[in-house]
Each structure stands twice: as structure tokens, then as C-alpha cells.
């Protein structure tokens, strides 16, 4: 009872006065517990998962009560909830609640309260259930690609007007997220100039004063309101087709597409736009608009039929390719800079070939109905002469022909692609940490917290007497408790990829450049052996030493399989998933697995179950 008493006594005393949301939760968040133990964190598969940041106070209180499952009610001092955050038991995150602090006292009181009281079943159920949300209109701005595709299909303009627009920013991994879709003054000016050029060159039939109604319905993807019709009719009267068109092409009705709306009259058109812009990256065609007007999109079955028709059209292929390009950061591959002395064979043409290899593998898996998890394990790829030279393979018969890797090759799937290996490297050398971070965030959908404030990220300098590999230098991360909690999650992944250099070529030794700050001693370059034994912390039996082996580990991981769905969800929906999306995501995950991981089936499932959420979900 010596250790037990402080828990129970403090808990009983504080049960009536302490509130979890007010007195405990804030310091847990400040300590960084929720960074890892969140739905997107690296510890999301454990029993402790914090609610989303948008959670209401009552949900936080319910979460606090649900922590009882991690408390040993007979011996609270042996509870993992007590031992791990205080680092009394080895904890990957280190000491998050300082021993002897006021926070530790408050934490002990809460654990004592949980050990001594009965569970609030109703509150726990409240925490588990998604909160119903009142449906609000959702507008999404056309991405630059969608703008180009829409004016092409609307008026036949194939000049790619968006080339003159300011660049789009990546937010949370993609360029189409809600929070990045404001219209800056510079973008508004660009829209005006583009509308003027497109209208001046458009070849459309002037059908007279009926023109405004007909063209407006196509441009806005819905019928014009009486006010809109009057406004653009006055422009038509003043300047004809060109002026009316110019006005429409820079209006919100054209620049934003309606994803959802509570207005029954517009809902059918919103459904058509959402389906078209998700699967085609362009406006609905006449057949989809007609299906919407006939009510054929009002049921999950009708919506699915329309989705499958769109996927059978060639316009679906560049839209899916754009998702892959953003997910894999292929634009950054083309823009990256490599140090000429370290990588004299690196050129822009080689970088373009790298991106084409990844696009072709993904396209082959998606459109030929293959298992999409082969993205990580494929024993074949698509090479041109330059890439074949880089990979030390015979030149293909045709440029970007399918090529099988040799049986003893260590390459497999995108983890062996030069695009991934070069992108996650520095200009003159590899980056163990960057490679591990990319795998965690892009392939496992786990957010690794930023370094704590004030922590030095500098590595020890090389010495002339004892040169060290990058792996040996990085061991300082594992010896520093402030760094180890995160670097044990990412660095071991990068270790296993070290036999591939900064442009993706295979190597047996690492070249280490040792500078000299003494005029009497020359700088030198030495070759050191590579220890490429790696593992994935959190996945059992995950030791590997090559991309092909890591690919098999990822492809067999439920977390990686679910991450494919979540990445496409974020791209398609323009936002991160929330607790309210959980039922729909569980249904999509199940459909994806049941299909044998066919990407097209996942696309159909996603648009269907996000439009018609299964029971327990909210739109």
C-alpha cells in the first residue's frame, strides 16, 4: 500500500474538483504526447490515441475517462499510463512528464481517480461516435490543372493559361487542400488576364440573347440564377459574346466548383461536379450532367455506375497521374539540384526520366487492374537508356519499355526508383533521416513531430584521424534523449537504403569528404564500408537491408495499405480525414482489401462512400 496510497488518496480527494479537459489535457498536449499518439501519429496503432484537435470539451472529458483501460486498478503504480510518460518504464518518447513536477502530481491524481471510480460508459460512447455536422455549402477553387482542363473542354482552349499563374503551394502533402485555396491579388489579376485571352480566342457559336443561359450553365456547371442571368445578359448587350464570356470566366461561379450544398435544386449538379473533378480533373460532360438532371446520381448504385463510366474514359488517366505526381513529389525531382563533382551524370533529362519511371509503374498498376501494393514490391520497371545506365542494366529495346529486374537485384517497387532515392538525398550525399521521414509520412501516414525548441540539429564534424559514415555520425541522435524519441522512428529506415547514393545508383562504399582547416593538412576523400542493416520501428520482424525487402514489409503492413486510401482521400477531398470520416474510411479500406488492392475499385468506393456515408458517418 505504500505506493498505492498516494494514487488512491489523491485521486479520491481530487475526483470532485479536477477536470480532465481543464487540468490535465493541456499539459499532456504541451508535453507532445498527442504528437505521436494521434490518429496520424507514429504511435497511432497503440491503445492510446488522442482525439482530434477539433474535439469538443465533452469529448476530451470522455477521452480522459477512457484512459481507465490503461490503468491497473489494483496496482495503479504499475499502470503503463503512469510508468511510460514519466519514463519509469522505457518509453520511445522519453520523459514527457517530468518526475517530481506539478504535472506529475496532477497526472497521478487523475490515475488515482480512474482507479477508484466507475467508468462513464455513456461518455465513452460519446467519444467514440462522430459528432453529427450540419451540412454547409462547400466550394473548392479550381486547381491550375483543373482550370486548364476546364477551359479546354468548355471552349477548346489548349494553351494552358495557368502557366502564367503564381505557383501553387504544397499543404499537407498536396496542392489542392482547402486551407491553401484562397485567391491572392496576384492570382485574381492572373485570372482576369487569362479570361481576357481565352474569351478573345474562343470559338463559340453566338446563339443570340439565349447564349448567356446556355454558356452559363456549362461554365458554372449548374443553371444560372435569375440575378446572374440578368448580370451577364447586360454584359452581352454591351459587348457581345466575348465580354459576357470574359465576365463569366473570372467569376466565382466558374473559378469554384460546388462540392456539396444544402440546396436541393443544386445538389444534383454539385454531385456531378464533385464526381467529375475528382476523377477527371475537369468539368462534367453532357452525359454526366444529363444523368444528374434525370436523378441518376441520387443513389449509391447510380453514383457508382457514373463513376465507373468516368474511369473508363481516357480523361481519368491524367487525373490519377496528377495524384501520383503530387504524392511522390515528382515536381521536386525535376527541380532538385545535385553537386556536379559528386554526381556528374545527373542532368535534367535524367531527372525527367526518373519521374516518368514512377508514373509508368503507377499507371500500369492502376489501369491494368493489378495489385496496387505492388507499387512497393514490383520486380519490373520502365526504363530508358539513361536510367538503364544509372541502374547498370542493359539498354531497353524501346524507350521506357518494361524491364524485369535481375533475380538478385536489390531494387523493387518505388523504393528502388531513382526518383525516390534522389529526392530524399542532399545535393552531395544521401540523407538517412530524409529517407526515413518520407517513408513514415508518405507511405505510413504517420506525422513525426518537429524537433523540440532549442535542440541542436548539427552533427559532429568529420575528423582526419577517424572518418565516420553518415550512420555513425547520426548515432548522436540516439544518444540524446531529446532527439532519440523521433530519430529511432526514422533513422533506422534510412540505414537500410544507404547502399544507394544521392541519385539512386548502387554503391558498395560511401565516399566521405573530410575538410581541413589547417593549411598544412590537405582535405581528403576516403571510402568507407556501409552498414545497411535497417528496420522499421513499430513493425515486428521488419529488419531489411535493401529497397526490395523494405517494400515487402510495407506492402504487407495494414498501416501502409490504409495509408494508400488516406493519401487518395486527402487528395480527393482536399483535406485531412477527421473522426467523422472514420466509418466511411473503414468501408473504403475494406473494399480496397476485398478487391485485391485494385486502385480503381478504391477510387469508386471512395467517391461513393464519401457522397453517401455509411451508417454512423456524416457528410
Q: Give the span between the Cα atoms of 473 and 460, in whole angstroms.
A: 6
Query: What residue segments make up the domains of the chain, in order of their start?
Result: 4-128, 138-282, 343-555, 558-611
Predicted local confidence at residue 64, as pLDDT: 84
Residue predicted with more confidence, 90 or 179: 179
Confirm if 606 and 568 have CB atoms less than 8 A apart: yes
Predicted local confidence at residue 551, as pLDDT: 98
Q: If you average pLDDT over residues 188-198, what whole number do you get?
A: 96
Residues 6+ apart with CB under 8 A from 499: 410, 506, 507, 508, 530, 532, 545, 546
Residues 293-331: tens digit of each pLDDT: 999 999 999 999 999 999 999 999 999 999 999 999 999
Least confident of 25-34, 130-139, 162-171, 212-221: 130-139
Q: If you average pLDDT over residues 107-114, what whole number do you get?
A: 84
Predicted local confidence at residue 4, as pLDDT: 46
- With a cut of 90, say whether residue 474 has pLDDT above it: no
Q: DSSP for 73-94?
A: SS-GGG-HHHHTTTTSS--TT-
Residues 6+ apart with CB under 8 A from 306: 275, 288, 291, 296, 297
Percent of the chain at pLDDT exceeding 70? 90
- With a cut of 50, say whether residue 247 has pLDDT above it: yes
Q: Give the span between the Cα atoms of 271 and 266, in whole angstroms.
A: 9
Q: Give the span between the Cα atoms of 298 and 303, in whole angstroms.
A: 7
- With a cut of 60, say whether residue 223 has pLDDT above it: yes
Residue predicted with more confidence, 461 or 538: 538
Predicted local confidence at residue 119, as pLDDT: 64
- With a cut of 70, say whether residue 517 has pLDDT above it: no
Kindly indicate the confidence band of residue 271, based on its pLDDT and cuts at 50, 70 and 90. very high
The length of the chain, given as a count of residues = 619
Residues 390-445: tens digit of each pLDDT: 999 999 999 999 999 999 999 999 999 999 999 999 999 999 999 999 999 999 99
Q: Give the span between the Cα atoms of 259 and 391, in whole angstroms.
A: 45
Residues 26-81: tens digit of each pLDDT: 888 888 787 778 777 777 767 788 887 778 888 888 888 888 888 888 888 888 88
Q: If you average pLDDT over residues 156-185, what whole number do you get?
A: 92
Predicted local confidence at residue 134, as pLDDT: 45
Q: If you average pLDDT over residues 569-594, what whole number do you get?
A: 94
Find the Cα–Cα–Cα–Cα dihedral 205, 207, 212, 218, rounded to 10°: -50
Kindly indicate the confidence band of residue 500, based on its pLDDT and cuts at 50, 70 and 90. very high
Predicted local confidence at residue 136, as pLDDT: 55
DSSP run (H or E) holding 493: helix 481-495
- With a cut of 90, say whether residue 552 has pLDDT above it: yes
* Dihedrals phi, psi of 534, to nearest 5 degrees: -130, 175
Least confident of 95-104, 141-150, 323-332, 404-413: 95-104
Percent of the chain at pLDDT exceeding 90? 63
Among 74-88, 470-484, 569-583, which range has the highest average pLDDT?
Answer: 569-583
Confirm if 346 and 392 have CB atoms less than 8 A apart: no
Q: Which residues of 139-175 are buried (b: 16+ CB within 10 A; e: fewer)?
A: bbbbbbbbbbbbbbbbbebeeebbeebeebeeeebbb
Q: Closest Cα partner for 347 from 405, 380, 389, 382?
A: 389
Predicted local confidence at residue 616, as pLDDT: 55
Amino acid at each position: 500500500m505504500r505506493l498505492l496510497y498516494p494514487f488512491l488518496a489523491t485521486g479520491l480527494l481530487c475526483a470532485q474538483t479536477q477536470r480532465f479537459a481543464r487540468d490535465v489535457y493541456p499539459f499532456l498536449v504541451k508535453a507532445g504526447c498527442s504528437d505521436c499518439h494521434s490518429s496520424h501519429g507514429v504511435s497511432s496503432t497503440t491503445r492510446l490515441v488522442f482525439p482530434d484537435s477539433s474535439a469538443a470539451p465533452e469529448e476530451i472529458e470522455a477521452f480522459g475517462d477512457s484512459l481507465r483501460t490503461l490503468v491497473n486498478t489494483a496496482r495503479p503504480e504499475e499502470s503503463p499510463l503512469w510508468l511510460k510518460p514519466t519514463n519509469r518504464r522505457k518509453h520511445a518518447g522519453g520523459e514527457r512528464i517530468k518526475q517530481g513536477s506539478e504535472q506529475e502530481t496532477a497526472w497521478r491524481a487523475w490515475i488515482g481517480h480512474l482507479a477508484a471510480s466507475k467508468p462513464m460508459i455513456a461518455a465513452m460512447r460519446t467519444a467514440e461516435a462522430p459528432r453529427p455536422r450540419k451540412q454547409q455549402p462547400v466550394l473548392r477553387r479550381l486547381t491550375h490543372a483543373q482550370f486548364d482542363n476546364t477551359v479546354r473542354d468548355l471552349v477548346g482552349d489548349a494553351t494552358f493559361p495557368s502557366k502564367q499563374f503564381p505557383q501553387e503551394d504544397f499543404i499537407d502533402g498536396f496542392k489542392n487542400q482547402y486551407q491553401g485555396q484562397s485567391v491572392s491579388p496576384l492570382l485574381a489579376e492572373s485570372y482576369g488576364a487569362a479570361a481576357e485571352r481565352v474569351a478573345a480566342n474562343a470559338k463559340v457559336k453566338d446563339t443570340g440573347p439565349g447564349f448567356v443561359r446556355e454558356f452559363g450553365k456549362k461554365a458554372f456547371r449548374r443553371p444560372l440564377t435569375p440575378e446572374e442571368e440578368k448580370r451577364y445578359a447586360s454584359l452581352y448587350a454591351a459587348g457581345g459574346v466575348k465580354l459576357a464570356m470574359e465576365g463569366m470566366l473570372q467569376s466565382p461561379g466558374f473559378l469554384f466548383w460546388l462540392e456539396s450544398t444544402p440546396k436541393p435544386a443544386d445538389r444534383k449538379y454539385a454531385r456531378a461536379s464533385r464526381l467529375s473533378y475528382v476523377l477527371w480533373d475537369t468539368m462534367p460532360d453532357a452525359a454526366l450532367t444529363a444523368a444528374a438532371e434525370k436523378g441518376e446520381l441520387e443513389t449509391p448504385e447510380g453514383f457508382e455506375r457514373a463513376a465507373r463510366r468516368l474511369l473508363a474514359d481516357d480523361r481519368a488517366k491524367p487525373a490519377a497521374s496528377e495524384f501520383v505526381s503530387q504524392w511522390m513529389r515528382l515536381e521536386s525531382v525535376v527541380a532538385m539540384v545535385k553537386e556536379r563533382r559528386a554526381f556528374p551524370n545527373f542532368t535534367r533529362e535524367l531527372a525527367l526520366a526518373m519521374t516518368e519511371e514512377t508514373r509508368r509503374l503507377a499507371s500500369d498498376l492502376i489501369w491494368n487492374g493489378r495489385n496496387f501494393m505492388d507499387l512497393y514490391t514490383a520486380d519490373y520497371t520502365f526504363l530508358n537508356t539513361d536510367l538503364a545506365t544509372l541502374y547498370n542494366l542493359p539498354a531497353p529495346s524501346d524507350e521506357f519499355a518494361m524491364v524485369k529486374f535481375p533475380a538478385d537485384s536489390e531494387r523493387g517497387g518505388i523504393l528502388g526508383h531513382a526518383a525516390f532515392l534522389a529526392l530524399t538525398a542532399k545535393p552531395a550525399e544521401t540523407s538517412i533521416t530524409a529517407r526515413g521521414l518520407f517513408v513514415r509520412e508518405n507511405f505510413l501516414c504517420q506525422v513525426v513531430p518537429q524537433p523540440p525548441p532549442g535542440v541542436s540539429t548539427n552533427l559532429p564534424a568529420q575528423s582526419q584521424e577517424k572518418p565516420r559514415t553518415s550512420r555513425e555520425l547520426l548515432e548522436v541522435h540516439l544518444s540524446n534523449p531529446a532527439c532519440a524519441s523521433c530519430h529511432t522512428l526514422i533513422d533506422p529506415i534510412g540505414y537500410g537504403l544507404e547502399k544507394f547514393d544521392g541519385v539512386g545508383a548502387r554503391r558498395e562504399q560511401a565516399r566521405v569528404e573530410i575538410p581541413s582547416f589547417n593549411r598544412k593538412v590537405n582535405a581528403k576523400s576516403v571510402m568507407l564500408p556501409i552498414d545497411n542493416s535497417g528496420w522499421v520501428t513499430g513493425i515486428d520482424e521488419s529488419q531489411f537491408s535493401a529497397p526490395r525487402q523494405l517494400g515487402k514489409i510495407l506492402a504487407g503492413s495494414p498501416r501502409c495499405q490504409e495509408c494508400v486510401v488516406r493519401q487518395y482521400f486527402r487528395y480527393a477531398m482536399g483535406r485531412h480525414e477527421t473522426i467523422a470520416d472514420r466509418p466511411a474510411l473503414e468501408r473504403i479500406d475494406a473494399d480496397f482489401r476485398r478487391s485485391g488492392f485494385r486502385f480503381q475499385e478504391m477510387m469508386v468506393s471512395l467517391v461513393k462512400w464519401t457522397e453517401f456515408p455509411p451508417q454512423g458517418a456524416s457528410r
